[in-house]
Structure 1
Amino acid sequence: MSRFAHPAGDRHAEMLPHERPPLPPADLNRINPAIWPRTSGRTDGTLTIGHVDVRDLAREHGTPLFVLDEHDVRSRMRDYVTAFAGSDVHYAGKAFLCKEIVRWLHDEGLGLDVASGGELAVALSVGFPPERITMHGNNKSVAELTRALEVGVGRIVVDSFEEIARLGYLAERHGKRPKVMIRVTTGVEAHTHEFIATAHDDQKFGLSLSAGAAAEAVRRILALPSLELVGLHSHIGSQIVDTAGFEVAARRLAGLLVQIKDEHDVVLPELDLGGGYGIAYVEDDEAPDVKEIADGLREIVAKVCEDAGLPVPRLTVEPGRAIVGPGGVTLYEVGTVKDVEGLRTYVSVDGGMSDNVRTALYGADYTVTLASRASTAEPMLSRVVGKHCESGDIIVRDCFLPSDLAPGDLLAVAATGAYCRSLASNYNYLPKPAVVAVADGAARVIMRGETEDDLLRGQL
């Protein structure tokens, strides 16, 4: 039986459309520029990134290996700064953070969002200006808030009544008056094209607008002379491809701004609409144009403020995935190719859910290609899986790879720059892979891979 497409025949015919495996692409060797890093391509059939042959990277640094296209990441930083001129662009560090990324942010003129004391420590370790840092988090510790006050973090986004009291006490004790924003739960959640306006107050982040908690937070902050309230913050979701959800959220926030003005005679000067802008992971995905997003958000904020009779506040946005995601690629070596007759071929690689948990966690989709050579063999329906002791250890659920795939081949998975290394673990005692930045034909390690000594360090 051929390994092409749908070997089960009648079995797949009985499936509902959304359950059927995809159809094979016209060209298994194609590197779609909408999905892969901006400097990627094939040279003599081999994938290159930043003009560096991935076979050389694998030989020198081993696999799994995270490869980051420096030109791609830096150019996307510049794209956001240019598109949002007159506003503030703060990179969401949770997507992927290391010292080198912080240096790039500083060079390109972005701010930084951190969500923990550890992320703050990374930024401070290379001299990033603390006034360009915003601190997030639903449960900031006393130690984290104290450090933020001591170094002069630019904005602290408060997330609960307890935090308001805690921060107010610490600020008074240390003789500081930090600028704070309130994270508002607006009742709008966006996941690609779905907008649902109910049942979103039931989450750990933010203070509810509809229940009046956000308005009460304003009262409590304004009553504390040690805190300076400068604005409101909202985050409506992730992998967003248009501005419709932002418009709904902005209008609701404008209503709160009017209430603050009427009740307290205070006009807040800043509005942070968060991030969540989408990228392309697979062929059907459409990444939003940065300029269109920027123009749309500015127009929305200007219109809602005009309708509400308010001055236009300074806008802040928080892209993370959209900046670092497309420039990242993960390299794996094929270990086992197992044909499960009548279903698909399972391709096992030397990593898995320890370096990319998103498929297991979110059902994420990815594009994968044979990277160490080109192939004209017919496509086989495949599932790329890891080496962990979990049946859910899947990297790419449904894909097509050439039927001459063999142990020792290199696979590359696209758009893994965001959240993969950040969410990495040592499950089954696998060491976390290195991160290598490539540019202009050269490669350098920006995060070294873990060793067996690293895994044993700290054990008594």
Structure 2
Amino acid sequence: MPTAHPSGWAHADGALRGPHWLREPSDPDALVPLLWSRTATKDDGVLSVGGVPLPELVREHGSPAYVLDEADFRSRAGAFRDAFSDYDVYYAGKAFLCTTVARWLADEGLSLDVCSGGELAVAERAGFPMERVGFHGNNKTLGELERAVELGVGRIIVDSFHEIERLAAVTAELGRTVGVMVRVTAGVEAHTHEYIATAHEDQKFGFSIASGNALEAVRRVHDAPGLRLLGLHSHIGSQIFDTSGFEVAARRVLALHARVVEEVGVEMPEMDLGGGFGIAYTTQDDPSDPAQLATEISKIVEHECRGLGITVPRLSIEPGRAIVGPSMCTVYEVGTVKEVALDGGLVRTYVSVDGGMSDNIRTALYDADYSATIASRSSGAPPALSRVVGMHCEAGDIVVKDEFLPGDVRPGDLVAVPGTGAYCRSMASNYNHALRPPVIGVRDGKTFTVLRRETVADLLATDVGVSS
């Protein structure tokens, strides 16, 4: 593994040769199926998704563009629905949400997790059943709580004593009752990036079980007239590949559930175990099958409930990025290619594309790894270790840190990056006044616009410094 360097990972020992897990392919044109949506294929080097060749899609819709595979999305949603048939499955709106996706989720029988008034507005506009909406967030505004109660969301996940008071006041003023879950921190840190591990004690989310705050929060919710106590909510992190962390968390959360029965005198009907299941961004990732996850998690819960002598509550799960993440790729056009001579006779090939950190911030933010392939032609050139970089005025504007691309990659080529469905468009920005790309749906050889490309008029619409 590269050693640490004060200037960052790109300067560390060994970084110039690529990560230890990256293997030079015998055919740089070939797809690794695990990384792509199920309908992705290559024919003579041309990548197609949903039966649509990406060069054709770019000619019609331009680049860069996010490409959303409807059949793949629905298939993954259905796989979680069927595997967790005794659970409520909540899709993570923060990963990627729009009215089209909300309607697909409604069709597939999933529930929806939102964490802002904006995401709730999308669900409302899509006609999503509000009783299947859960509202997360550690600092919901008074206006957001009022709107959620007015719309009749199925559950609000409370995250602080202030919020319990605020929500009780809202329900009293509106004369309504709302279902409430209490988010707890179980003291379990998932094996994931520090910034997206959310159940250890030193972080902003939830009530600590160890400190007693979680039990006190349950008491206060139970005692509030307009709040209907549903149960406990636990979330241990994101991009998780096994169930070991869930075993420890479930033991602690169910122990608290049993204490509530004994000390508060109420048996809560539900429990949410979170989720945050991982996907394959590169060949080093090995995600679990939904059926396997369901079997293992259910065994954990049933075993703990037997030991505690309590009834298994109605369970919820939140797959996180695992539904939409693999269902989308991003296609870019190469603008420049630069070979940079390095010490020891090494050469780094920089492949600059017409997007970057404005459409995928995760590499810069999380040091995330991605893969890439040439999408517009075949090549007989030997593979060359390359770095796909963006167009922004930042040295850290990197899309794919290390990938083997054909050695003859050139301006005008299309490069496609898989696994960009989660937290790419939803975290996109107008940095350098870039225009956010469109999301183009594909199915059965046809394209349809899910989110249109931003225009200069969109960009200037909020700039009121000069009157017309």
Same fold (TM over 0.5): yes
Question: Residue 126 in 1 paired to residue 126 in 2?
Answer: yes
Q: Which residue of structure 1 aligns with residue 7 of structure 2?
A: none
**Where do 1:22-61 residues align within 5 Å?**
22-61=22-61
SS at match of 2:326: coil
Identity between Structure 1 and Structure 2 (%)? 57
Cα deviation for residue 381 of structure 1 reads 1.2
Q: Which residue of structure 2 aligns with residue 435 of structure 1?
A: 439
Cα deviation for residue 198 of structure 1 reads 12
Q: Which residue of structure 2 aligns with residue 458 of structure 1?
A: 462
| Mapped partners of 2:452, 2:16: distance in 1 | 45
Q: Which residue of structure 1 aligns with residue 70 of structure 2?
A: 70
Unaligned runs of 5+ in 2: 1-10
Question: Residue 424 in 1 paired to residue 428 in 2?
Answer: yes
Q: Which residue of structure 2 aligns with residue 371 of structure 1?
A: 375
| Mapped partners of 1:295, 1:50: distance in 2 | 31
Question: Residue 446 in 1 paired to residue 459 in 2?
Answer: no
Give yes or no for contact 2:38–2:72 (8 Å, CA) kept in 1. Answer: yes
Q: Which residue of structure 2 aligns with residue 209 of structure 1?
A: 209
Give the AA of the match of 1:268.
M
**Where do 1:80-99 residues align within 5 Å?**
80-99=80-99
Cα deviation for residue 224 of structure 1 reads 1.1
- TM-superposition CA deviations, 1:31-77 (whole Å, max 9, x none): 11111110001123200001101001111111110001111000001
SS at match of 2:437: coil
Distance 1:327 1:317, change over 3 A: same
**Where do 1:36-435 residues align within 5 Å?**
36-192=36-192, 200-342=200-342, 343-435=347-439
Give yes or no for contact 2:372–2:417 (8 Å, CA) kept in 1. Answer: yes
| Mapped partners of 2:17, 2:121: distance in 1 | 49
Distance 1:159 1:13, change over 3 A: closer
Give the AA of the match of 1:293.
L
Distance 1:198 1:447, change over 3 A: closer
Distance 1:314 1:14, change over 3 A: closer
Give yes or no for contact 1:65–1:331 (8 Å, CA) kept in 2. Answer: yes
| Mapped partners of 1:199, 1:230: distance in 2 | 20
| Mapped partners of 1:85, 1:15: distance in 2 | 45
Give the AA of the match of 2:419.
A
- TM-superposition CA deviations, 1:287-325 (whole Å, max 9, x none): 111100011111111111111111000110111310000
| Mapped partners of 1:118, 1:394: distance in 2 | 29
Cα deviation for residue 94 of structure 1 reads 0.5
Distance 1:257 1:109, change over 3 A: same
Give the AA of the match of 1:316.
S
Distance 1:288 1:187, change over 3 A: same
| Mapped partners of 1:67, 1:18: distance in 2 | 28
Distance 1:12 1:391, change over 3 A: closer
Give yes or no for contact 2:29–2:406 (8 Å, CA) kept in 1. Answer: no
Cα deviation for residue 21 of structure 1 reads 8.8
| Mapped partners of 1:160, 1:319: distance in 2 | 24
Give yes or no for contact 1:193–1:241 (8 Å, CA) kept in 2. Answer: no
Give the AA of the match of 1:399.
E
Cα deviation for residue 374 of structure 1 reads 1.4
SS at match of 1:189: coil
Give yes or no for contact 2:131–2:153 (8 Å, CA) kept in 1. Answer: yes
Give the AA of the match of 1:138.
N
- TM-superposition CA deviations, 1:163-191 (whole Å, max 9, x none): 00000111111111111000001101212
Distance 1:283 1:455, change over 3 A: same
Larger mean Cα displacement after TM superposition, 217-226 or 386-395? 217-226
Unaligned runs of 5+ in 1: 1-10
Give yes or no for contact 2:188–2:199 (8 Å, CA) kept in 1. Answer: no
Give yes or no for contact 2:238–2:320 (8 Å, CA) kept in 1. Answer: no
Larger mean Cα displacement after TM superposition, 147-156 or 221-230? 221-230
| Mapped partners of 1:187, 1:13: distance in 2 | 35
| Mapped partners of 2:185, 2:198: distance in 1 | 11
Give yes or no for contact 1:246–1:273 (8 Å, CA) kept in 2. Answer: yes
- TM-superposition CA deviations, 1:248-284 (whole Å, max 9, x none): 0000001101111111111111010112100111112
| Mapped partners of 1:14, 1:297: distance in 2 | 39
Give yes or no for contact 1:192–1:241 (8 Å, CA) kept in 2. Answer: no
| Mapped partners of 2:232, 2:15: distance in 1 | 48
Give the AA of the match of 2:428.
A
Give the AA of the match of 2:204.
K
TM-score w.r.t. the length of structure 1 is 0.94
| Mapped partners of 1:193, 1:327: distance in 2 | 22
Give yes or no for contact 2:376–2:414 (8 Å, CA) kept in 1. Answer: yes
Give yes or no for contact 1:35–1:282 (8 Å, CA) kept in 2. Answer: yes
Cα deviation for residue 12 of structure 1 reads 10
Give yes or no for contact 1:193–1:240 (8 Å, CA) kept in 2. Answer: no
SS at match of 1:326: helix
- TM-superposition CA deviations, 1:387-410 (whole Å, max 9, x none): 111100000011111111110000
Give yes or no for contact 2:186–2:199 (8 Å, CA) kept in 1. Answer: no
TM-score w.r.t. the length of structure 2 is 0.93
Give yes or no for contact 1:189–1:236 (8 Å, CA) kept in 2. Answer: yes
- TM-superposition CA deviations, 1:119-168 (whole Å, max 9, x none): 00000102111000000000000000000100100000000000000001
| Mapped partners of 1:450, 1:198: distance in 2 | 33
| Mapped partners of 2:269, 2:286: distance in 1 | 34
- TM-superposition CA deviations, 1:1-50 (whole Å, max 9, x none): xxxxxxxxxx9997799866944122211111111110001123200001
- TM-superposition CA deviations, 1:395-453 (whole Å, max 9, x none): 00111111111100000001101110000000000000000010000000010010010
Give yes or no for contact 1:366–1:414 (8 Å, CA) kept in 2. Answer: yes
Q: Which residue of structure 2 aligns with residue 7 of structure 1?
A: none
SS at match of 1:459: coil
Give yes or no for contact 2:257–2:268 (8 Å, CA) kept in 1. Answer: yes
| Mapped partners of 1:176, 1:396: distance in 2 | 50
| Mapped partners of 1:204, 1:13: distance in 2 | 35
SS at match of 1:131: helix
The aligned length equals 448
Cα deviation for residue 221 of structure 1 reads 1.2
